[in-house]
Structure 1
Amino acid sequence: MNERESLMKQIHVRLGPLALLLTVIVICMTVLGLLALTTARGDLSMARRYAEAVDTRYSLEAKGQAFLWETAKDPGALNQLERDKNGTFWRILSENGMSLRIGLAGKGRGFRVVSWQFTQESWEPKEDIGGLWNGG
């Protein structure tokens, strides 16, 4: 037994480097997990904004089609619209910062669509952000 006891005393297990390595691995995995969570939240936010924009665009498209249908049933309604110097009648539909600009040209007793254009209102910051350079 004396030999065995002396052999056990000679074997030293060093946990210092192993504990340090495991600590670094845990910190790295935690940081990577937080980055993945932050990225997923950003992607979700962007997907929701895109869905709102597509919903608004399709809503304006449906309203524009309904306007064309009503105008086709009563071509005399064209005279109630704004008219430019070229004789084009214009109707602008807006919703949630997006607009649909429809241009119609009179054609005999009917009309034809000469413009069907979506535009997005330009974004302007509502306030100054702590003295940061505004690019101007």
Structure 2
Amino acid sequence: MRQVSVRLGPLALLLTVIVICMTVLGLLAVTTARGDLSMARRYADSVEKRYGLEAQGQAFLQQIVQDPEVWDELERDKDDTGWKVLAEEGLSLHIGIARNRDKYEIVSWQFIQESWEPQEEIGGLWSGE
């Protein structure tokens, strides 16, 4: 009987390369998914803060309409515009209200994000100087 020899060298090498490529692609997919999840959570937190401030601002406007004494407690500028600032964790809502007899007009409704300041020194990294 004659035996046919099977050469496994090239086939084993090809399978090894395929397994390594699939492993790397799988790790990249998992890393990308984690990054996307982290970014989605940060975005959800910022939207929650923004909508929370919106709700507080609308409640404040309702309070002014119902109780005119609230108008007297507001800070005013030279144009007699009343200002109310609502803040939450680095985000603030600046509301400007003008009064004309018994009517109120919103002249400003602006969100302002605190500016980000980098840390002075980060664990012995070169500062570029």
Is TM (by shorter chain) over 0.5?
Answer: yes
Report the TM-score when normalising by structure 2.
0.91
Q: Could you tell me which residue of structure 1 aligns to residue 113 of structure 2?
A: 120
* 5+ long unaligned stretches in structure 2: none
Q: Could you tell me which residue of structure 2 aligns to residue 46 of structure 1?
A: 39
Report the TM-score when normalising by structure 1.
0.87
Matched, 1:102 2:95: yes
Contact 1:99 1:120 in 2 (8 A): yes
SS at match of 1:101: strand
Higher helix share: 1
Q: Could you tell me which residue of structure 1 aligns to residue 61 of structure 2?
A: 68
Matched, 1:21 2:17: no
Partners of 1:100 and 1:44 lie apart in 2 by 28
Task: Measure how far apart 1:132 and its partner are.
Answer: 4.2
**How well do the aligned residues superpose, as a CA RMSD in angstroms?**
1.5
Q: Could you tell me which residue of structure 2 aligns to residue 131 of structure 1?
A: 126
* 5+ long unaligned stretches in structure 1: none
What percent identity do the matched residue pairs reach?
62
Partners of 1:116 and 1:60 lie apart in 2 by 11
Contact 1:90 1:101 in 2 (8 A): yes
Number of matched pairs: 127
Partners of 2:68 and 2:87 lie apart in 1 by 22
Task: Measure how far apart 1:58 and its partner are.
Answer: 0.8
Task: Measure how far apart 1:26 and its partner are.
Answer: 0.3
SS at match of 2:92: strand
